[in-house]
Amino acid sequence: MTYSISTDRLNFTGEYRTIKQALGAAASELALSPRQKFYVGQNIHLGYGEQYYPDADTILDIIGESAYEVSERAEDWLTNIPQKEKDDLKSMLDKTIMKWMKKYHQEATFWIVEEIKEYIIEENTVDESTLTSTI
């Protein structure tokens, strides 16, 4: 788990191993003044959690449309697949895509920021004693 910092709650920067490191970085990197708000959020690496690969319906639609371009007789091909079989295809696709990403070093290196906490600096330095958390 890592953390990032922001002055506007929208654009986060840095990747710090602890909240304490993120707070320390806020002092040196964000040019904060007394009573200024800043934010620390928890990074969720997409490569390790949330899946963003195409679902089975999307893949089946693409295959069906490609086949239809070759022959109109393919119009209804792959349109009545039971959900269990789609789930199986999704699982197989996810494993294959992840294997390919690892093989060619294409794993996701980006993240989303969640669990955002607002802090207010009380003095000219940032440490736990000079911060007020508003959450």
Averaged pLDDT, groups of 10, the chain, 135 residues long: 92 92 87 87 73 82 95 93 95 89 84 91 59 54
Alpha helices in 3-82 (DSSP H): 19-29, 56-70
CA 118 to chain centre: 20
Q: Which long-range contacts (CB under 8 A, 24 or more apart) does 125-132 make?
A: 125/27, 126/23, 126/24, 126/26, 126/27, 126/32, 127/23, 127/24, 127/27, 128/20, 128/23, 131/23
- Residue 4: the pLDDT is 94
- Residue 127: the pLDDT is 53
- Residue 50: the pLDDT is 47
- Residue 124: the pLDDT is 54
- Residue 78: the pLDDT is 94
Domain ranges of the chain: 2-48+109-133, 56-103
Distance in angstroms (rounded) separating the CA atoms of residues 44 and 110: 9
Beta strand pairing call for 2-6 and 13-16: antiparallel
Q: pTM surpassing 0.85? A: no
- Residue 49: the pLDDT is 47
